[in-house]
Amino acid sequence: MSHSGSNFSGTPDSDYGEPTNFELSEFLKFDEWIEEDDQPSLLSASTQNPVYRAHVIGDSGLATSTHGGPSIEGREQKEGKERVAFKTKTEVEILDDGFKWRKYGKKMVKNSPNPRNYYRCSVEGCHVKKRIERDREDQSYVITTYEGVHNHPSSS
C-alpha cells in the first residue's frame, strides 16, 4: 500500500478511541486499486476521469434474512453476489452508468463527514444496489460500490 488514497491512521478531528488495527472503517477492503484504462461497460459517459477499480470480496451477512420484514420477497440470488467498488474522480456523485437508479435513504457515516447515498435499480427484475460515498480524504473522489448483477439490458 503505497499510493492508497484511502488510509487514515490519525483521525485527529474524530477520536473514537479506536484501539488498533485499522484496515478500513467498513467491510470495504480494497486490496488494491487497479487503474482501468478503458472500461466500455461502466461509466460510459464522461469516462475521461481516471477510474480505479477494486474488487471487494465480502461474504459476511449477505443475502440473509432481511431484518424488520418477517416476510420478504425472498428473491435473493444465492449465487451471483458480486461486490465491486469503483473510485472515480468526479464532481458529481450521480454517475450515469446507463441504468435507472432510485435513491433510497441517506446515512451519515462516522468515519466520513459526508453522507452516504443508497441507490437501488428501479428496473423490475434487477435488484442491483449501488452505494455511493465520497472519499473522506479527497472529496474530489467518489467511491461507488455496486452490489449484485444486472438482469436487465441497459435500456429497453
Partner DNA sequence: CGAATTTGACCTGCGC
Partner DNA sequence: GCGCAGGTCAAATTCG
| List of residues contacting DNA (CB under 7 A) | 16, 25-26, 61, 64-69, 100-107, 109-111, 116, 118, 120, 122, 129, 131
Q: Which is nearer to DNA, 29 or 102 (CB)?
A: 102
CB of 18 to DNA, least distance (A): 9
Q: With contact defined as beta carbons under 8 Å apart, do 119 and 131 qualify?
A: yes
CB of 1 to DNA, least distance (A): 21
Q: Which is nearer to DNA, 15 or 79 (CB)?
A: 15
DSSP, collapsed to helix, strand or coil, labels residue 108 as: strand
What are the DSSP calls for 10-66, one per residue? --SS------S--S-SSS------EEES--SSS--TT--S-EEEEE----SS-SSPP
CB of 100 to DNA, least distance (A): 6
Q: Which is nearer to DNA, 2 or 155 (CB)?
A: 155
Q: Which residue has the cell 449465487?
A: 79
